[in-house]
Amino acid sequence: MRRKLTVITDESGRVIATQIGHGDLPHPVSGITGQIVAGPGQREHKIEFDVPALSSSADIDAFHERLRAHLERG
């Protein structure tokens, strides 16, 4: 399913964090708004991308590699 994502990459372009959404909508139950933020030398990307079902760390690693390739294509 295509979703809004916030993606943080390191200096090498490696994906180090992802968040569903852009941190602009409060949680429907708690009302809390949270957002990941890029640190020194890191870069934040706000994109839309197909997010598969992720049920293992291998799934997450493969997903991050697909994100990296997508971001490198620009």
| Better pLDDT: 33 or 18 | 18
Q: Please report the DSSP string for 29-43 in residue order.
A: TT---------TT-E
Q: Identify any residues that bridge with 37 across adjacent strands, giving them in sequence order.
A: none
Query: Are the C-beta atoms of residues 29 and 38 closer than 8 Å to each other?
Result: no
pLDDT in tens, 20-67: 888 777 888 998 888 899 999 999 999 999 999 999 999 999 999 999
Instruction: Read off the pTM.
Output: 0.85
Query: Are the C-beta atoms of residues 21 and 6 closer than 8 Å to each other?
Result: yes
Query: Helix, strand or coil for residue 25?
Result: coil
What sign does the CA torsion over 6, 36, 21, 64 have?
Answer: positive
